[in-house]
Amino acid sequence: MTTSQLSRRVFLQGSLGLLTLAVTAKGLISTVWAADPAAQKYGADSMPGGTVDDPLIFVSIAADGSVTIVAHRAEMGTGVRTSLPMVVADEMEASWDRVKVVQAEANETRYGNQNVDGSRSMRHFLLPMRKAGAAARQMLEAAAAARWSVPISEVRAVQHEVVHQPTGRRLSYGELAAEAASQPVPSGDQLKLKARADFRYIGKGEVRAVDLETIGKGQATYGMDMHLPGMVYAVVARPPVVGGKLHRVDSTKALAVPGVLKVVEVPAFEGAPGFQPLGGVAVVARNTWSAMQGRAALEIEWDDGPNGTYDSAAYRQTLEAASRVSGKVVRNQGDAAQAWGNAPETERFAADYYVPHLAHASMEPPVATVRIQSGSAEVWTSIQNPVAAQDAVAARLKLQPENVRVHVLLLGGGFGRKSKPDFVDEATIVAQAMPDGTPVKLVWTREDDIHHDYLHTVSSERLEAVIDTKGQVQSWLHRSAAPTIASLFTEGAKGQQIFESAMSAINMPYRIANVRVETAEVPAHARIGWFRSVANIPHAFAAQCFIAELAHRAGKDHMQFALDLIGPARKIDPGTLGDTWNYSESPERYPYDTGRLRGVIEAAAHGAGWGRELPEGHGLGLAFCYSFMSYTATVVEVAVDEKGEVRVLAVDMALDCGPQINPERIRAQMEGGAIMGLSLALTSEITFEKGRVKQSNFHDYEVLRHNASPRMIRTHLVNDNYDLPPGGVGEPPVPPVAPALCNAIFAASGKRVRSLPVRKVV
């Protein structure tokens, strides 16, 4: 198994005379909600580029029988560069050891949507890739039947050959490639997808990642590994405050640094930040060291702008005050206020929770290489949304997008940060200032990455409930105060949008008569971006800790209390919960299934041995979440010593994502989600003073160290049901981890943790 980069031109040239399957592109589809529900687009159809399922674009067979399959979505550790081609190979009966996977360039007209955000890759492209593989198989079978002049019903593709079943005659895929290329592509009603019992790779978890060997040997090409002849290197001194601008710069000392070639001003963004560069001054040199030394020698004065007084400690007080007063109502049923007002003081319970800003801190900071030549541009970068990069470069250079080629390299982590192509735009600005044809590699340091990230939102969450003497919850009020991602695109935007509120705040399925959810209109003072699992993190942290507190107040077992609150298995229209977004998926296809939620809770609890006797100072904590069309539950076991030090002993994670296409990769995502969830819960925090991020590297923006990692992470995959549509996998593991940890800390120590990061129990 090998993998390589593939340009459109090379693919088309190399496919002449072979089996090459092509498609008709779908037009761009708006994601705006339609006024007429009948006209509403859901799922992949609501995404730019939609899906492509006609196989002629994804499969090529050489005369020697080797099969090339195009991976059109970026690989950042989720395994998508293996899993989607694996689906094609299974349906077309290709032998996996004769398959080569190649990475597509940016081209949504050709390949369908390429934005690797929102845990959509398998959710949106499982069926299209199955269809592509099945069509290729049927075209090979048709070619063999034509050559033998036999009915097609007598032939069958089996592991890289087509067999004439009555006589045993065989033809290899290589022998049939040219003839199969002339066969018509089967239409939808003619396609014959495999039965589950016939899968060779799907659902087995036995296919090794295509990049595993090259990554292990240090031979894989990430953005940082890119090198071109004549390349120069650039770093940027950016305004330390978002919205700040360059006041004055003296470049004399920088230009005197050996190896420095040029200093280029990067214009500050106007209006809302969007994906625009922050601005500043770029130093271009013959190597990165000289560029960084030149940047250090710049004499710069900044105008900090309107966010120069931003202080995260003071802003926390602002958020907490906002979460304690009435806000914008996003869900309202019954009368929570009346239930609260009529209840005796002994039946009222309230709690406040806090989650700070978080940085993505992927192992590979942003990096992009750009070369501009003869009215066109070429880009090599690690990007989750290659078409966004293509559009940014085209807009900057006033080119048509088709004159900008974006080569998608491996990503050393992404988590949502690398779908925002500001760093590619920066590289383009610098390349534009250099002689025609000069490749410019623009590099972010770790400090750049921490200081200038699109941060996960900071949040204050207020929960209030009436719980009667029988332990029944009579009312539920959830107020959330957090700056919105919408501030990225609309200047001055305040208050969470429906898609943010629909992440574990309004879409709670509990049997409570009086429910009210509100959001506060608070401003953003930093670039707020999506982060692995987005608003589910603060909302689930608050709600899941609160449920545990209610269970304790009622004197009931937490798991049983949660199951009783959820009630019997039923399928709920998300719209009845106030969720008109539903992750852009059809509510009929993806209802909220409380039976599946109950299933993961029971599986995680069973795996952890819920209810067993524990040593002194040990505790088990539970939390659960519905996100990205999947159901997750987590049980964490901790030990808390007499000094308040927390040690995580074990994590049990259960996931119901519907069909489990590549279980090995699912387990990897679950384990990674456990580590990331523990990291953000225990140590990670971004703070501001005078508009500036105080943290700079992993010594003060801490991620989980090996010695703090759990001794055991057990994953429990449940309900492998191919009658269900696929759910997401990359993001759902994260939200339940922090609340499960904090609930375990209480069980071990009797101390509640309502503010992250935990660091230690005091």
Contact 55, 136 (CB under 8 A): yes
pLDDT digit string (tens) for 245-255?
999 999 999 99
Side-by-side strand order, sheet with 2-5: 2-5, 99-103, 67-71, 56-61, 19-22
Cα-flanking dihedrals φ and ψ of residue 459, to 5°? -150, 140
pLDDT digit string (tens) for 276-305?
999 999 999 999 999 999 999 999 999 999
Residue of 467, 386, 392 lying closest to 429 (CA atoms): 392
Residue 695 CB partners (closer than 8 Å, separation 6+): 359, 450, 685, 686, 687, 701
- Characterize the bridge pairing of strands 67-71 and 473-481: unpaired
The pTM score is: 0.94
pLDDT at 37: 55
Partnered with residue 478 across adjacent β-strands are 463, 517
**Is the model's pLDDT at 5 over the cut of 80?**
no
* Omega within 30 of 0 (cis) for the link into 757: yes
Residue 46 CB partners (closer than 8 Å, separation 6+): 29, 30, 31, 584
* Average pLDDT of the chain to the nearest whole number: 94
Q: Tokens 């750049």 correspond to what residue?
A: 448
- What is the rounded end-to-end Cα distance, in angstroms, of the chain? 53
pLDDT at 188: 81
Contact 232, 441 (CB under 8 A): yes
Q: Tokens 């004499």 correspond to what residue?
A: 299
Residue 747 CB partners (closer than 8 Å, separation 6+): 619, 620, 621
**Is the model's pLDDT at 103 over the cut of 80?**
yes
Contact 645, 705 (CB under 8 A): no
* E strand or H helix that includes residue 265: strand 260-266
DSSP secondary structure, 174-201, as one string: HHHHHHHHTSPPPPGGG--PPPGGG-SS
pLDDT digit string (tens) for 624-675?
999 999 999 999 999 999 999 999 999 999 999 999 999 999 999 999 999 9
pLDDT digit string (tens) for 209-231?
999 999 999 999 999 999 999 99
pLDDT digit string (tens) for 610-624?
999 999 999 999 999
Q: How confident is the model at residue 74 (pLDDT cuts 50, 70, 90)?
A: very high
Residue 596 three-state SS: helix
CA dihedral 169, 174, 178, 183 (to 10 degrees): 60
pLDDT digit string (tens) for 400-445?
999 999 999 999 999 999 999 999 999 999 999 999 999 999 999 9
Q: How far apart are CA 39 and CA 171, in angstroms?
A: 47
pLDDT at 23: 27
pLDDT digit string (tens) for 683-719?
999 999 999 999 999 999 999 999 999 999 999 999 9
**CA 119, 124, 129: angle at the middle one, nearest 5?**
125
Residue 296 CB partners (closer than 8 Å, separation 6+): none
**Is the model's pLDDT at 375 over the cut of 60?**
yes
**Is the model's pLDDT at 722 over the cut of 60?**
yes
pLDDT at 400: 98
Residues in the chain: 762
pLDDT digit string (tens) for 180-217?
999 999 988 899 999 999 999 999 999 999 999 999 99
Contact 329, 519 (CB under 8 A): no
Q: What is the mean pLDDT of residues 450-465?
A: 98
Q: What is the mean pLDDT of residues 360-367?
A: 98
The Cβ-side half-sphere exposure at 182, using a 13 Å CA radius, reads 8
Residue of 687, 688, 538 lying closest to 625 (CA atoms): 538
Q: By percentage, how much of the chain surpasses pLDDT 90?
A: 94
pLDDT at 11: 33
Contact 133, 55 (CB under 8 A): yes
pLDDT at 34: 41
pLDDT at 380: 98
pLDDT at 10: 35
pLDDT at 760: 77
* E strand or H helix that includes residue 619: strand 618-627
Q: How far apart are CA 228 and CA 365, in angstroms?
A: 20
Q: How confident is the model at residue 762 (pLDDT cuts 50, 70, 90)?
A: low
Partnered with residue 631 across adjacent β-strands are 626, 656
Q: How far apart are CA 579 and CA 271, in angstroms?
A: 30
- Characterize the bridge pairing of strands 514-519 and 473-481: parallel
The first and second tokens of residue 555, run together, are: 């004197």
- Of residues 25 and 761, the one with the higher pLDDT is 761
The first and second tokens of residue 560, run together, are: 């049983």
Other Cβ atoms within 10 Å of 750 Cβ, number: 11
Residue 723 CB partners (closer than 8 Å, separation 6+): none
Q: Tokens 């900008």 correspond to what residue?
A: 404
Lowest mean pLDDT among 32-46, 131-145, 439-453: 32-46
User: In this structure, which amino acid lies at residue 356?
Assistant: P
* E strand or H helix that includes residue 215: helix 212-216
Contact 551, 467 (CB under 8 A): no
**Is the model's pLDDT at 30 over the cut of 90?**
no
